[in-house]
Amino acid sequence: MPMSTLVNYSGDDDFYPGGSFYTNPMDSGLLVSIGSCMDVYCPPRKRSRITAPYIFRENNLELEKQPSIDVLPDECLFEILRRLPGGQERSSCARVSKRWLMLLSSIRRTEICPRKSSQSLNESSKLDKELTIPVPDDIEMISAEDRELGSDGYLTRCLEGKKATDISLAAIAVGTSSRGGLGKLSIRESSSSRGVTNLGLSKIAHGCPSLRVLSLWNVSAVGDEGLFEIANGCHMLEKLDLCQCPLISDKGLIAIAKNCPNLTALTIESCANIGNESLQTIGRLCPKLQSISIKDCPLVGDQGVAGLLSSVTSILSKVKLQSLNITDFSLAVVGHYGKAITSLILSGLQNVSEKGFWVMGNAMGLQTLISLTITSCRGITDVSLEAMGKGCPNLKQMCLRKCCFVSDNGLIAFAKAAGSLEGLQLEECNRVTQLGVIGSLSNCGSKLKSLSLVKCMGIKDIAVGTPMLSPCHSLRSLSIRNCPGFGSASLAMVGKLCPQLHHVDLSGLDGMTDAGLLPLLESCEAGLAKVNLSGCLNLTDEVVLAMARLHGETLELLNLDGCRKITDASLVAIADNCLLLNDLDLSKCAITDSGIAALSCGAKLNLQILSVSGCSKVSNKSMPSLCKLGKTLLGLNLQHCNKISSSSVELLMESLWRCDILF
């Protein structure tokens, strides 16, 4: 047909000039516009399951199809996603978009369609073999067993700061389901504006029924609704830690109590809306609860503590009560009903008087108590301390901090009453003097192994006689730190009373001299293994020489940090006598390159940790000696050694590749 005839053709065929040619207006939808003067007729065809627009651009006849699955509503997409065959497929789909991720994370474990039967799997596998392109051998395939939903709860996840968001929790919920299951989740310092909310916890509840441990620290946007979701979805929960969660109240905690019967540990700190009602419910509905810690919760009072402890099925073994508005009544309940308690911590209980502690001891219910720590409680006096010593016959560890009303008489009476005591620690108990310490050691019985004194300012160094005092042969560890009044006379008396010491820590005793320490070294019959003399500014080489001579065969650790009168002579003695020494700290001592050289000549010395930090007289000349010592070293501290160059340290690092060097 000639071109002119084709152009002038006006018959009833497929091409029409602009304008409608349908008698039925509904058929106009079959037209697709091409520019402003031409239309294309698309004949009717079977309607697709999912339709999406086709667009012809004016300047380009290229056909463009928009993503069609986004047209689906959430309900339809939900049904598709819950039919995915395995965890790998769900994880892959979660990467498509946030919408898909949030939908996948909202699918509960029970809503996932079960796998096909073995017969249908065999049939489908035959069909797959016919239709599937062969996979190269170097591509790792996922077996059906690997796709199984893991629910054992092996995995741990921790989100902090900006990383703690609802999106992150949704990803965790989807990603961990096929990899062993999420067992422990910790969320800390979540942002109040874009951080974790109740929605995020709901995703965890839906996808992680294996969750056993949940910690929420400073998560201000999570409230009771989030705990409702956890309670309904995570029935295996065993440990719950809530800190600074202002929107969580009794309602959320009650939901946990009703739905999580396996709860064994509960920690609540600075939660202003949690009070007595939830604690009473916990005590009634959580028979497996073994550990409870409550701190700085103003609504918690005597009724809540009583509800926790007075339950017939209570097996609470660890109890911590700190900065609460409780009275003597609560401690009386602890004394009467705490028959299973082995560890008890009481701190900052300003409303508890001497009577409360006295009743707790005389109730005789704490027969299994092993460890007791009391801090900043005005009710601890000489009378109440003695009562607790008598009422806790199996008490082994006792720690008193900032108990300003405990004096020498109370300490000695307690030492006599607590026949099973193995460890005694006193911190900032300023009414205790030298006589109290000596009297406790003499009257503690035959089981005391450890004595620790920290910042006890009431101790004064007075030379007094010690007639009729029984020695404490059981004491193995003596720690006297930052007690400025504890001097040479006091230490000499302690040394005579404790001949079997293995560990001695006298750090911070700047008034200590050779005259006080030498008697202790000479009286230790068993041989010292660990000695910390850091901050003892007045000690000289004479002490180290005596220590190396008397205890060289047993000494394993020696800390001389800040002993500025220690010189190279001490290193010569250490190299010759201390065969078992593996940790030596010489920071800020007056040693030189000669001392390091002498130390490296120790034929049987096997140092693993060495610190010469701040030794201004140690220079590059010590590099060969340090290299020789490095055959056994695992850690070397060269910080603040100004005469050692960076290039020398770099060469040393290359040589001592096994050693961790600080510079």
Start-end of H helices in 234-366: 250-259, 276-285, 302-309, 328-337, 354-362
Q: What are the b/e assignments for 532-555, b being 16+ CB within 10 Å?
A: bbbbbebbebbbbbbbbebbbebb
Q: pLDDT per residue over 509-558, tens digit each?
A: 988 899 989 999 999 988 999 999 999 999 999 999 999 999 999 999 99
pLDDT at residue number 314: 81
570 band by pLDDT with thresholds 50, 70 and 90: very high
Beta strands in 412-571 (DSSP E): 423-427, 450-454, 477-481, 503-505, 530-532, 557-559
168 band by pLDDT with thresholds 50, 70 and 90: confident
Q: Between 450 and 311, whose confidence is greater?
A: 450
pLDDT at residue number 464: 64
The rounded mean pLDDT for the chain is 84
SS3 37: coil
Is residue 483 over pLDDT 60? yes
Query: By C-alpha distance, which of 193, 253, 185, 189 is closest to 219?
Result: 189
Q: Between 3 and 568, whose confidence is greater?
A: 568
Length, in residues, of the chain? 663
Integer angstrom CA distances of residue 44 from 30, 83, 414, 557:
7, 34, 99, 92
Q: What is the pTM of this model?
A: 0.80
pLDDT at residue number 345: 98
Q: For a pLDDT cut of 90, what percent of the chain falls above it? A: 63
Contact 397, 371 (CB under 8 A): yes
331 band by pLDDT with thresholds 50, 70 and 90: very high
Is residue 106 over pLDDT 90? no
Q: For a pLDDT cut of 70, what percent of the chain falls above it? A: 80
Least confident stretch, 131-135, 264-268, 634-638: 131-135
pLDDT at residue number 554: 96
Instruction: List the beta bridge partners of residue 584.
Output: 558, 610
SS3 403: coil
Is residue 650 over pLDDT 60? yes
Is residue 56 over pLDDT 60? no
Q: pLDDT per residue over 87-101, tens digit each?
A: 677 777 777 777 777
Is residue 123 over pLDDT 50? no
Is residue 508 over pLDDT 80? yes
pLDDT at residue number 217: 95
Instruction: List the beta bridge partners of residue 295.
Output: 269, 322
pLDDT at residue number 465: 62
Q: pLDDT per residue over 1-53, tens digit each?
A: 443 443 344 444 444 344 444 444 444 444 444 444 444 444 444 444 444 44
pLDDT at residue number 67: 58
Q: Between 3 and 425, whose confidence is greater?
A: 425
Mean pLDDT, residues 637-646: 95
